[in-house]
Amino acid sequence: MQKTSPDSIILLPMPRHLSLTGGGLVSSAAPIRTVSVADIPAEGYRLTLKSGEIMLASSTPAGDFYGRQTLKQLWRQCPGGVPALQIEDSPDFAHRGFMWDVSRDRVPTMATLFRLVDLLAEWKINQLQLYTEHTFAYQNHRTVWEHASPLTPADIRELDAYCRERFIELVPNQNCFGHLERWFKHDRYRPLAEAPGGFDFPWGHSPAPFSLCPTDPRAATFIEELLRELLPNFTSRQVNIGCDETYDVGQGRSHEECERRGRGRVYLDFLRKIIACAQQDGHTVQFWGDILQHDPELLHEIPPGVTALEWGYGATHDFDGHCGLLAKAGVPFYVCPGTSVWNSLSGMLVNAKANLLNAAVQGKRHGAEGYLITEWGDGGHWQQWPMIFPPVAYGAALGWAVEANRDLDLPLALSRHAFHDSTGLMGRIACELGALNQSARSYESNGLGFSIMLSNPDASAADGRCVEGAPACFGRALEALARLRGEMAGVRMDGPDADLVRAEFEFTFALVTHACRMGLARAESRAPNTAAVPADRRRLLALELEPLLPEYRRLWLARSRVGGLTDSVGRFEKLLTLYRG
């Protein structure tokens, strides 16, 4: 190392206290002496490196494990020896989780899941959830999942064991109320729907059913069957039952009951039935808390053993007010910010960092029991795997120790502990690419204009998410993309999947470049939608997009199972058809 100061050491997450004590360098060959100290917090540790010796003190096996993860990061950045130092460390949140959507087309391979778990463990995450709608292989429901390459019971048991070895709790996650459109498209399940003929979202009409009918006795029986089959495959005694965004409740078969008793009351009664199903064998229950926030007087009626998940993905989401309501009602809760990568191609890092920090600060202030980072797959799950590294790494750091990590040098931390890039370039490139939306004046919490224009070519500026800015906006974005793409030549990654990560970045550069050129064509021709772009320019766009699709398929299969690929690529093929007129 060139400097002997705490600033020269970047850990992910940064510990609460790190001080250099002097006395030369400590080699990775030095023996580790472990001691048990009862007053160290459960997952905390005390690490002392001095000439010829390393002492690791903890009170639990988890604390010992996290101390060793810190040592791994120290050796990685100081291969010639670490300066003598002392670290005292422990987490702000007891539960620090990552939730990954495995239902919006993309189901990861086991190798990808194992790679993810290794990263999360090093970053001191202790909970993993795989968000499931229809991608678990339920024995009696093959029709629903047969083309989705689902996770099998054997997959879950193998992953569960892998997680436990790394002090990560694999928590079952099955949406049990809304977001069941993949079930209802089959005739067998449609009679269970609240609105079989469709309903209105706040943002538009849906012709397809979405949620279970809460007043149909068969609905609770159906959910009980699913949970009885799913839960025994996990050693966790928690389960996330979902129940978010049930906008259609009251618009269909439960309308009269909702008019008579109130929509919130009808929702809560069905929620309690699902909770009872899940608690039969002693599980504690998590559910997304968005619906009951509209009826805060009902929060007091949430049964014991239930944790509300307070989620919101905008930079200014009211975690303060919502957490305050839950704390006042005595309801245990997690705060659940997002990565802001879905519907974006390359991420929305400025929004994500503000959202992640806001959740951590207000969660700690109001006594949240957990901090759960969410990564969704809306719109075909087009984002490539490493695009999630910047927000997940920053969120993991905040979930461990908010104040020690709010000003984390994220680019350098990523270079060292995510990309294994000795030059330090890769982390900066990833962060600049993730913040590119600012260059194009697109700044939304649930979708970046580049992606919206590609996935919804009919979108216009009126929908609030589509970039319609002046040509200069897209010109600046294209200049930044070209510069960052050129800088990739200087990156020297040596991680286990370095070549694949490089290819995923190259593809993302190409796809975002294409989106910018489409935006430029729309802006210069003042086209209200993509179809209105002059035919000659659309033909050029088609020639540019078409060769990207084979690479998209290749990269998909390198990380994910084949199920869902046809649907995801189909969104690009629809765009190609439009380009060709």
Which region holds residue 124: left if phi is over 0, alpha if psi is between -120 and 50, else beta? left
Residue 137, helix vs strand vs coil: coil
Domains and CATH numbers, the chain: 6-89 (3.30.379.10), 95-408 (3.20.20.80), 426-580 (no CATH)
Contact 42, 62 (CB under 8 A): yes
Whole-Å CA distances, 18 to 5, 23, 70: 10, 15, 11
Q: What is the pLDDT of residue 7?
A: 64
Opening angle at CA 409, ends 408 and 410, nearest 5: 90
CA-wise closest residue to 362 among 340, 388, 333: 333
Pairing of strands 95-101, 370-375: parallel
Closest residue by Cα to residue 352 from 385, 390, 325, 405: 390
* pLDDT recorded at residue 164: 98
**Tokens encoding 18:** 């790190």
CB 161 within 8 A of CB 219: no
- Write the secondary structure of 311-325 as one string of H (helix), E (strand) and C (coil): ECCCCCCCHHHHHHH
Going by C-beta distance under 8 Å and a sequence separation of 6 or more, which residues neighbour residue 572? 454, 545, 548, 549, 552
Check residue 417 and give its pLDDT: 98
What's the pLDDT score for residue 181? 97
Q: Report how far residue 181's alpha carbon sits from residue 166's, in angstroms, rounded to the nearest whole number.
A: 35
- Please give the C-alpha separations between residue 372 and each of 95, 98, 263, 356, 361, in angstroms, as whole numbers: 8, 5, 28, 10, 13
Length of the chain: 581
How far is residue 388's CA from residue 173's CA, in Å, rounded to a whole number? 20
Write the DSSP symbol of residue 60: S
Q: Would you state the pLDDT for residue 438?
A: 61
Q: How far apart are CA 148 and CA 146, in angstroms?
A: 6
Q: In tens digits, what is the pLDDT along the chain, a chain of 581 residues? A: 334 456 689 999 999 999 999 888 999 999 999 999 999 999 999 999 998 899 999 999 999 999 999 999 999 999 889 999 999 999 999 999 999 999 999 999 999 999 999 999 999 999 999 999 999 999 999 999 999 999 999 999 999 999 999 999 999 999 999 999 999 999 999 999 999 999 999 888 999 999 999 999 999 999 999 999 999 999 999 999 999 999 999 999 999 999 999 999 999 999 999 999 999 989 999 999 999 998 999 999 999 999 999 999 999 999 999 999 999 999 999 999 999 999 889 999 999 999 999 999 999 999 999 999 999 999 999 999 999 999 999 999 999 999 999 999 999 999 999 999 999 999 999 999 999 876 554 444 444 566 777 887 776 644 444 554 567 778 888 999 999 999 999 999 999 999 999 999 999 999 999 998 988 888 888 888 889 999 999 999 999 999 999 999 999 999 999 999 999 999 999 999 999 98
Half-sphere exposure at residue 494, Cβ-oriented, CA atoms within 13 angstroms: 6
Per-residue pLDDT at 449: 61
Give me the pLDDT at residue 463, please: 46
Query: What are 260's two structure tokens?
Result: 């008579």
